Amino acid sequence: MSVDPPHTARAAASSDQLLAFVQYLRGKKIPVSPADTLDAIEVAELVGYQNRSLLKNGLAAALAKSLHELSVFEAAFDDYFQPIPERPPAGGQSDVEPEGSLAEPPEQAPQIDPAAPGEDPLDGLRGNSLFDALESRDESTLSVAIETAAAEAKVEEISLFTQRGQYVRKILDALGDEALREAAIEFEQSEPAAFEAVQALREQLRERVRDRVERAYLIHASAATEDLLDESLSKLKLGNVDHSQMARLKRLMDRMARKLAARHGRRRRRYRRGKLHVGETVRRAIPTDGIPFHPRWRKIERKRPQIMAICDVSGSVAAYAKFLLMFLYAVQDVLPRTRSFAFSAALGEVSDLFATLPVEEAIERVNLKYGGATDYGRALQDFSELALAEVNSATTVIVLGDARNNQADPRLDLLAEIKARARQLIWLNPESTRLWGTGDSEMLLVKRHCHLAKECNNLNQLERIIDKLLSDKR
């Protein structure tokens, strides 16, 4: 067991702790770059580890880059650097920890009765460095010992919650708990007082080690578990998402939307300057004797793509429509002129609902208003009357539906007309491709009249389609 001088051990532990905290933040999906980490270390050196709120404010400035990240950061900081609870008044006379500093969890050592008569059976154990450290409650020696043992046991490889016990055992072994256990067994019959004392110290040690392992789990494994959950959720059929997963799904979707918006928002702003505007340049050159000091450029008028989403909101498909609309409105920044229509039997425009209400509520209303037996023919008819005149070469029309029309006429002629006018007609079908054309599905016919027909029933597919939509700009 290596024992460093206390203060260097503390400084090293602090900056290690900071690095582990950065790891923890990354697990919480705050992107922290190595440069940010260096900043954080500099900040921490500057403000010190003593004052908790100071450290929190300082680190927040370096690590949290937006309001959203700030709230995540604050929660994470509080979780990670838990303030030390009040020490039990008994025996807390020696070490004065500044309140709220970042120390190891508290120990609750029952003082060993100092008035033990005669020779102390514990004398046999004195000299064992672990026992001495525990008995004298040598904070820094213990922390260092536990850190060393934790490293030896490779605690950072923990991946499942159920592995905790196993790692606690490993660390205890590495610490040399064995010797204490044997001593305890020895005392059990002969020296009940000594037995109690040793067991209490061992329990205290075990408590600390358990804490250490749990922290390691939080840092290293919970992030991995979260990733796993996210990944499986983004592959899950959206129709099967149950209520308990909604919050996570929404988070996931928001993150995807942010990513897409960031990626494509940028592209849109490029190439704004067009060719030289000769006339205006010459005119402006008159005062300078015909020398064109101030060239004028034409502006390129970019046709922003407009999305018109036509969604089937009848029972089987409603869930998917909901997600498509949620996604489209989440990328509103980049696709500002999205119009949405909902139908089941009749069709109506629902853009206003989405503009004024939160998405979930809007969906509820839509379902209420336009629910009923599906009729694609009538829906397309209604759409043509409502908005066909505004479909032009900048419009992308997305239809979401299973194309199961209860044997009625799907009005493919209208679809063909939309295709002819629109820049793009995309049909998204939540059913898997194998089922297209079976039963009353008109999908195979419909497919011919679309620029693109795709299966779309999970978040990954949805993201890919919206990504495609956004990158397809002139």
Partner 1 sequence: MSDTHYPALSDIDAIQQAFESAGYICTTRIATVVRLAAALEKPVLIEGPPGVGKTELAKTCAMVVDRPLVRLQCYEGLDESKALYEWKYGKQLLYTQLLKEQLGDVLDGAKGLNESMSRLHEFGDVFYSEAFLESRPLLKAMEADNGGVLLIDEIDKADFEFESLLLEVLSDFQVSIPELGTIQAHSKPLVFLTSNDTRDLSDALKRRCLHLHIPFPSVELEARIVASRVPDLAQSMTDQLVRFVHAIRSLDLKKAPAISETVDWAKSLVLLHAKDLDGSLVRDTLNVLLKYEEDIQIAEGQLPKLMAAAAG
Q: Does 41 bind partner 1 (CB under 8 A)?
A: no
Helices (H), 270-300: 278-285
Considering the complex, what minimum distance in angstroms separates the CB of residue 260 from partner 1?
12
Q: Find the shortest distance in angstroms from Cβ 363 to partner 1.
A: 20
Distance from C-alpha of 145 to C-alpha of 171, rounded to nearest angstrom: 10
- What is the rounded distance in angstroms from the CA atom of residue 70 to the CA atom of residue 64? 5
156 dihedral zone (left: phi>0; alpha: psi -120 to 50; beta): alpha
In whole angstroms, how far apart are CA 269 and each of 262, 423, 450, 467? Answer: 12, 21, 30, 17
Q: Report the nearest approach of partner 1 to the CB of residue 357 (Å).
A: 12
Nearer to partner 1, 50 or 393 (CB): 50
Secondary structure of 350-370 in HEC code, one letter for each residue = CHHHHHHCCHHHHHHHHHHHH
Dist. CA 444–CA 455, nearest whole Å: 12
Question: Minimal distance in Å, beta carbon 211 to partner 1?
Answer: 29
Check residue 346 for interaction with partner 1 (CB under 8 A): no
**Do β-strands 347-349 and 297-299 pair in parallel, antiparallel, or remain unpaired?**
unpaired
**120 touches partner 1 (CB under 8 A):** no
Task: Check binding of 47 to partner 1 (CB under 8 A).
Answer: yes
Single residue of 7, 35, 162, 286 touching partner 1 by CB under 8 A: 35
Classify residue 219 by its DSSP letter: I
Which x/- pattern, by CB under 8 A, does the window 312-341 give for partner 1? ---------------------x--------
Q: Which of 10, 23, 39, 445 binds partner 1 (CB under 8 A)?
A: 39
Q: Which two tokens stand for residue 354?
A: 């989405």
Which residues sit opposite 347 in a β-bridge? Answer: 343
- CB proximity list for 66: less than 8 A, separation 6 or greater: none
For residues 406 to 425, the per-residue mask of contacts with partner 1, x marking binding by CB under 8 A and - elsewhere, is --------------------
Which is closer to partner 1, CB of 179 or CB of 262?
262
- Please tell me whether residue 266 binds partner 1 under the rule CB under 8 A: yes
Q: How far apart are CA 331 and CA 343, in angstroms?
A: 23
Total site size for partner 1, rule CB under 8 A: 33
Indicate the length of the chain as a whole number: 474
Q: Give yes or no for residue 293 binding partner 1 (CB under 8 A).
A: yes
- Residue 249, token pair as written in the block: 């799904």
Q: Which member of 96, 247, 291, 368 binds partner 1 (CB under 8 A)?
A: 291
CB of 13 to partner 1, least distance (A): 23
Footprint of partner 1 on 51-110 (CB under 8 A):
53-54, 57-58, 60-62, 64-67, 70
List of residues contacting partner 1 (CB under 8 A): 31, 33, 35-36, 39, 42-43, 46-47, 53-54, 57-58, 60-62, 64-67, 70, 258, 261-262, 265-266, 269, 288-289, 291, 293-294, 333
